[in-house]
Structure 1
Amino acid sequence: MRHDPYYILGVKRDATQKDIQSAFRKLAKKHHPDLNPGDRPAEERFKEISTAYELLSDEQKRARFDRGEIDMSGAEQAPRHYYRDYASASGPSDPYHNSASFADFGETEDPFSAFFSRRTSGGQFRSKGQDRYFSMAVDFLDAVNGAKTHVMLPDGITLDVQIPAGTRDGQTLRLGGKGEPGVGGGPPGDALIEVHVPPHRFFQRDGDDIRLELPISLDEAVLGAKIRAPTPTGPVTLTVPPYSNSGKILRLKDKGVPKRGGGRGDLFVILKIVLPDTPDPRLIALMREWSEASRQDPRKSMGAAP
């Protein structure tokens, strides 16, 4: 069964091209080497998936495989026996007799091949080559800012890829002329690469905006401060207003994702007050003194007062 492309992609034999493409993308996203670094079984599985998809996405190769003329790698198979080998009747009364003087399909070349041969012999039939489908992982910041990288195809060929600024997870990039060769002198197909962007450690994308949860100390929150904060294009200095609560949002204009029509989204910084890693006796004493004097109830508006 491992030599059956339908079994490998998990689709039925009557699956549509859309079904086949969807199954390939789902499996490629799971087993792509860029998403499974150092995982040799995943790499081998990805090659197997790509080989199966390359055959089934080509209608002519798929038809030849279904007829048993080629195996999954595209190698020619030994001819199959057809009904005439087992028919006992002959002549006009034979239900398998062909009175129109056409030879049986099992004994001559593929009639579709003959048709295409006639069309190409005069130089009239030209067809664009099949597109090829791949997937690759792209770093979060490379997807936001744009970058040049490369992708290695299952056949060992390396393609240079320009990642446009603002590329989204799941977006498909088209590399013109990097697909299968054309037929009869037709142009080659394209390489279609689906991009997968793993989550960042602290940036979160929201459309063209980015959100960042930024830790600040208790004294920075109470007294205010000028602090350094990371952005997709490098660190900047921002001002924390005095008496800032956790959850307060500061907006950094044009520090988000580049937009297709020009400009950039914004970076929204969510402040998060963080206490020292090690308990400080002086801070504890100060808080006890302050608590007794203030008697603050931050949950009063929720009806949670004792």
Structure 2
Amino acid sequence: MRDPYEILGVAKTADQADIKRAFRKLAKKLHPDANKDDPKAQDRFAELNSANELLSDPEKRGQFDRGEIDAEGKPRGFEGYPGGPGGFRRGGFRQGPQDESIFESFSFGPEGARRSGHGPHDAGGFDDVIADILGGLGGRGRARAGGAGRGETPRGGDIEISVPVPLERVVEGGPVKVHLPNGRAVEIKIPAHVAEGHRMRLKGQGEPSPFGGAPGDAYVVVAYKQHPLFKVDGADLKADVSLPLAQAVLGGKLRVPTLKGEVELSVPAWTNSGRTFRLRGKGLPKADGAAGDLLATVRIVLPESHDPELEELMRRHLEPKG
């Protein structure tokens, strides 16, 4: 297959909105119902679908840009049969039980576009495109756009809602409030040890159907909320920890905050300010179920109150020797 960027007519720097606009424009132009006298119309439309399916998925787009997969979604150097390892058949349509592509369930025949499923990546865009196309071909659009020619009414589009979750809630799990586009607020339970980017489906909470069909779904995506103590670095956390001057010189036990409460850190004598200690497994959950680390950087602090003895000690230390 040709380069998907070339097929959609967009630059490699195009954002997702540019890709969606380009797809909608070309889908109307290349749809087989709009090109009934062109025997290659179905092939061109399938090629367009395949290119959009790859570039509209950030993960697959990244793999393609890095050269890990080809334009059909197959690993580079894959010489197997269509539909083999890699989960794609010729034309780039995904198959298998985990399929989320909206395009695999489309076919084109005497009755036009048929659809048997609805995936999370279309956000209503493909239904709207089909409706627009068929609506301009003799008034047949609404009956056939999402109903496979059987009067089925197209459903509303799916939406994604990014929800900032406190880091403690990410580790422990618990309820968070989600504000829907329709103004409603619902409470959902975040599972414990959930990684950033985790998606949860709220059935029927997406966009309403412009044709009176069922509403789409809402997908809640976990994002990390900014924390007053910790900075996020992948699955690791970074924090500055105050180290009293006496402990910096003599060593001792230092209380270090974590997302699950304080722990003791053994600080050796003569520890310089800026030294970083790694507390393994005290960071954020990873997608594989493991946990990142906490990187605690000590910062030497002086006593809060005036200490004449300390000042005298420092004066003696600064006096010229001999």
Q: TM-score, normalised by structure 1?
A: 0.53
Give a deviation string over 1:186-237, Cα, whole Å, max 9, x none: 9864312344433211212222222221101111111112232211111122
Give a deviation string over 1:139-168, Cα, whole Å, max 9, x none: 232234433212121323333333344555
Contact 1:174 1:190 in 2 (8 A): no
Q: Structure 1 vs Structure 2: percent identity of aligned residues?
A: 32
Partner of 1:141: 168
Aligned length: 212
Partner of 1:203: 230
| Equivalent residues in 2 for 1:123-272, closer than 5 Å | 125=152, 129-167=156-194, 171=197, 173-178=199-204, 179-180=206-207, 189-272=216-299
Which of 304, 307, 310 aligns to 1:283? It is 310
Give a deviation string over 1:95-138, Cα, whole Å, max 9, x none: xxxxxxxxxx79x8x321244578224xxx58665212323222
- Structure 1 residues 134 and 261: CA distance shift in structure 2, 3 A: closer
* Structure 2 residue runs without a partner (length 5+): 1-16, 25-51, 59-122
Larger radius of gyration: 1
| Residue type of the alignment partner of 1:243 | W
Structure (1/2) with the larger helix percentage: 1
Give a deviation string over 1:3-48, Cα, whole Å, max 9, x none: xxxxxxx9899565799999xxxxxxxxxxxxxxxxxxxxxxxxxx
| Equivalent residues in 2 for 1:63-82, closer than 5 Å | none
Partner of 1:113: 142
Q: Distance in 1 between matches of 2:207 and 2:253?
A: 57
* Structure 1 residue runs without a partner (length 5+): 1-9, 23-55, 70-104, 296-306
Q: TM-score, normalised by structure 2?
A: 0.51
Task: Give the alignment's Cα RMSD to 1 decimal.
Answer: 4.4
Q: Distance in 1 between matches of 2:181 and 2:57?
A: 17
- Structure 1 residues 189 and 172: CA distance shift in structure 2, 3 A: farther
